[in-house]
Amino acid sequence: MIPEEVELRIARYFFHMYLPEEVMQEVEAKLLPPCIWTDEEELDHDELVRWALEIINKQLDGKHFK
């Protein structure tokens, strides 16, 4: 099993290196307000991940990276 920290670092690299700028901006626009205005302990991390994945899947539907 790959350690969670390694997975997170790979995902962070992929997010910043390969996602188109407009996708990153849309994800940030959706996630930043609740992250700014809600205490860390009260954030629903699963919901934030779902929101981001919905945006990424919608924006990248049918696109390939190779």
In this predicted model, what pLDDT tens digit does every residue of 18-30 receive, in sequence order?
A: 888 999 999 999 9
pTM of the predicted model over 0.85 = no
d(C-alpha 36, C-alpha 38), whole Å: 6
To which residue do tokens 């910043």 refer? 16
Its sign, for the CA torsion 54, 22, 14, 4, is negative
Which residue ranges in the chain fall short of pLDDT 70?
65-66
Burial class of residue 27, CB neighbours in 10 A (0-12, 13-18, 19+): buried
d(C-alpha 59, C-alpha 54), whole Å: 9
